[in-house]
Homo-oligomer: A and B are copies of this chain.
Amino acid sequence: MPGIPKPLRPRKTPRQQRSAATREQILRAAAHVFVEHGYAAGTTNRIAEAAGLSIGSLYQYFPNKDAILVQLAQRHLAEGRQALTAAIERGLPATWPERITVLVDAALHAHSGDPRLHQVLFEESPRPPALLADLRALQNTMVDLVADLLREDPAVDAPDPRLTAWFLVATTESLVHRYLADRPTSDVAVFRQQLIAVLTGMLGTHSAATQPPG
């Protein structure tokens, strides 16, 4: 930025920026510690140490241990929600195989960080009701969205669109999660292809089953 003398350039709100950076630091440390030790053994002292802070400082950024957990989890969920919103804004594909691919890729992306963290956050830890509600809300949004798409599409025969949508969403989520834990094949692409096929089949089976070719 030529012409503007350094000291006059707008400061990047140092106070808040620093603060935000420290929060980030703590969250990263917490993620690391939770992955390494689990929730119970992931003590606040360990987190502070991993973040290179004193325990007192940690508590200036988060009121208690659970707040760290919740923040971490909600960030995960927020990412999922954003991915969903983004996909919708970009325009959902017109065909089911494509739509399912979007779904699967979103799930793979969401879990790409660390499946163990996902497990600690959503399974091992005491989940505050607010967080549980958030989790349910996101899943419901997705199920509703898919259900609506199913209803709109006359080519798909889904007597109970919500249930079918639940199957699609739940299977995607669950199998991606499980894949990362089990690694039944080392080639993600293979898994991805197979999963897409399975999900696509979920719709096909029905249609085929109930829409016998004239």
Number of copies: 4
Which residues in chain A, 176-214, are within 8 Å of chain B measured between CB atoms? 177-179, 182, 184-185, 190-191, 194-195, 197-198, 200-202, 204-206, 208-209
Taken residue by residue from 147 to 169, chain A's Cβ proximity to chain B (1 for < 8 Å, 0 otherwise) reads as 00000000000001011101100
Taken residue by residue from 126 to 140, chain A's Cβ proximity to chain B (1 for < 8 Å, 0 otherwise) reads as 100000000000010
Q: Does chain B have a CB within 8 A of A114?
A: no
* Contact residues of A: prevailing secondary structure: helix
Task: Give complex CA distance A55, B175 in Å.
Answer: 41
Nearest chain B CB to A88 CB, angstrom units: 22
Task: Give complex CA distance A135, B143 in Å.
Answer: 31
Closest B residue to A184 by CB, please name it.
Answer: B166
Task: Give complex CA distance A40, B184 in Å.
Answer: 31
Closest B residue to A165 by CB, please name it.
Answer: B184
Knowing A175-B174, A204-B201, say if A123 contacts B123 (CB, 8 Å). yes
Q: Closest 5 interchain pairs by CB?
A: A201-B205, A174-B174, A166-B184, A123-B123, A201-B201
